[in-house]
Amino acid sequence: MSTRKDSLQLMRAALMMGFACTFIGSASAYDRVTGELFATRSDVMGQHGMAATSHPLATQIALDILKQGGHAVDAAVAANAALGLMEPTGNGLGGDLFAIVWDAETETLTGYNGSGRSPESLTLEWFESNGYEDIPKRGPLPVSVPGVIDGWFALHDRYGRLEMADVLAPSIEYARQGHPVHDLIAWYWDRSVPVLSEYPGFSEQFTIDGRAPRAGELWKNPNYADTLEVLVREGRDGFYKGELAQRISDYMEAHGGFLSYDDLANHRGNWVAPVSTNYRGYDVWQIPPNGQGIAGLQILNLLEAFDLASYGFGSPEHVHLFVEAKKLAFEDRARHYADPDYMDVDVDWLISKDYADERRELIDPDRAARTVEAGRAQLNEGDTIYLTTADQYGNMVSLIQSNYRGMGSGMAPPGTGFILQNRGEMFVLKEGHPNTFAPGKRPFHTIIPAFITKDGAPWVSFGLMGGGMQPQGHAQIVMNLVDFGMGLQEAGDAPRIHHTGSTEPTGQAIQMTDGGAINLESGFPYSTVRALMDKGHTVTWARGPYGGYQAIMVEVDDAASPPVRIYRGASESRKDGQAAGY
């Protein structure tokens, strides 16, 4: 009889071989024999509140906050704080944050861009004179200002109902008392330790005797608790202007970094208006650049003219048209998306129907494009967490947070319990690109929260993390819900399409010249694979599960007196997450 340990070893082997979907049922949602779709489980339902995160304990913390009368923002911040402790492989206090909030009182969506800027004292000329062609993946040079703490307080100041001390209390307790590390997180943690142990402060704060914590082993991080307690006492300035900021600055200077006290003290995130496109009667919302969210909107605009529902999920037409649309959107992503202060491109034009009509002419329904150019402008290993919450008042939050690559730069200031992000790696070290490095500039960002409204009312708050997979995954979720009529959980369980080979915004990849490659999770019929190859596509099986999905859907029975609101929740079964309501 196989043991749980044997099963976990199989799962890890499957992840490494790219066939996780064979062992994790969610990715086999397409039945090749009957052609029917199914979910790994039913949607979770609740009337008064819902939370969906990538860690069950974080979900329970969010629910507890909601039960205390907290706003969805209170629950989201509490869950994010917990995830920085419990899933440091994907996020933390040293990273950035983006969010979309549905405010039930005003019936409006508001966005928050919590991305930090590059150090003011670091210049493109410094990189050139020191022989750098690209910014390193790790160490002190890719570190930009962490934006997450400012984001927490900005969101909380505007919407919060509970005191920040109550919001952060559960994570402080877990940091001091410990929690058992989950299986998949332990696996990723173990992969990070050999890579990051050379950086000062990492091994001392993120290993147990030089190794990653094992699955089921109790993990404590008292330094993390200390940092959260500084935030409770001193607010956001305790991070950006106090002794903690000076400690970070001194640490970076001592180890060849440029992030300074002034860089931290001058940081502020921005409230932004989300942008949208209408896809078959549903308004899909994203945060505008410097993030990549509008690529998902461009893909949907290109696909809207095709009758995907008649082709059917998993058909050659479905996969081919999606990939061709992605190629076009991603060339624009590489050439035009950047810090809006440095962009000359009109975002409204990029996500317009007229532009989509123009670009759609480049899609050949019978052949894969080998190369495409970016459109005319009118003046990828990222590890991330996504979470969404909804409260008894009708408010909803779509929030994403990340240190970027893996556990970040590896730079862990002493006594803080967190790792600084390596988001600065995304800059281009070449003149003339909108994402060229400059002091005090926000880098191109991969993390994107999403939201869907119908007739001006909230419908779905969702995200699908995973570097360059994110806009691809967002578009696929919308297609699954709208074109293929899937349920909320089913839409995330269906096998995914991941296209690689497009030009990257970092300039580190040459322009696509061979059409790239389609990586398919298992569950797509072999007849589709053969048809795609006949169209000129290179097709491979997935090298790992693609993305990490969480979602909440709201349904209102207006016929009831008074009207009844029901939340549905879904969580990524390729990871360790949980959706739960009350």
53 is an active site residue: no
The rounded distance, in Å, linking the Cα atoms of 143 and 117 is: 9
Tell me the DSSP string of 280-337.
Answer: TTEEEEEPPTTBSHHHHHHHHHHHTTS-HHHH-TT-HHHHHHHHHHHHHHHHHHHHH-
Sheet architecture: strand order including 517-520: 497-500, 517-520, 539-541
Closest CA to 571 of 79, 47, 213: 79
Give the CB-side neighbour count of residue 370, counting CA atoms within 13 A. Answer: 3
Are residues 283 and 300 in contact, defined by beta-carbon separation less than 8 angstroms? no
| SS3 state at 400 | strand
The rounded distance, in Å, linking the Cα atoms of 380 and 446 is: 8
Closest CA to 98 of 435, 482, 402: 402
The rounded distance, in Å, linking the Cα atoms of 434 and 507 is: 11
| SS3 state at 8 | helix
Query: Interhelix angle for 164-177 vs 56-67, to 10°?
Result: 150
Question: Residue 560: is it exposed, middle or buried by C-beta count within 10 angstroms (0-12/13-18/19+)?
Answer: exposed
In the chain, what is the straight-line distance between the N-terminal and C-terminal CA atoms, in Å?
A: 38
The rounded distance, in Å, linking the Cα atoms of 168 and 357 is: 48
Catalytically annotated residue among 53, 227, 277, 384: 384
CB burial readout 155-170, b (16+ within 10 A) else e: bbeebbbbebebbbbb
- Which structure tokens are listed for 141? 């040079």
Are residues 351 and 277 in contact, defined by beta-carbon separation less than 8 angstroms? yes
- Enumerate the active-site residues: 384
